[in-house]
Amino acid sequence: MNMWTAIALISVAGIIAGIFSDKGKRKNNAQADKELKALHARIDALENELRDRVETLERIVTNPKEDLKRQFDHLDKVS
């Protein structure tokens, strides 16, 4: 085997190794994408839940009846 044949074989082996490496990376990327989508869905669900809770708290705080209750409770504690 001469030098040029060895260089050609090494080059072909490198190309084939690169192809298999890319396939492995794509498979891992697909799994990572799936996990990332699941995380995004979970974050969106948590965000919606937190928005609902904040809206409820805002309604309670801005409700005049609740404010009146707090004032009466405060007066009861003071007296």
Task: Report if residue 74 sits inside a domain.
Answer: yes
The single residue listed with the structure tokens 């801005």 is 62
Task: Report if residue 8 sits inside a domain.
Answer: no
Residue 1 pLDDT class (50, 70, 90 cuts): low
CB–CB of 66/60 below 8 Å? yes
Helix (H, G, I), strand (E, B) or coil at 2: coil
Task: Report if residue 19 sits inside a domain.
Answer: no
* C-alpha span between 59 and 45 (Å, rounded): 21
Domain that holds residue 52: 32-79
Global pTM reads: 0.49
Total structural domains within the chain:
1
Task: Report if residue 14 sits inside a domain.
Answer: no
Q: What is the pLDDT of residues 15-73, one digit of tens each?
A: 888 777 776 666 677 778 888 899 999 999 999 999 999 998 888 778 777 777 777 78
Task: Report if residue 45 sits inside a domain.
Answer: yes
* C-alpha span between 33 and 1 (Å, rounded): 46
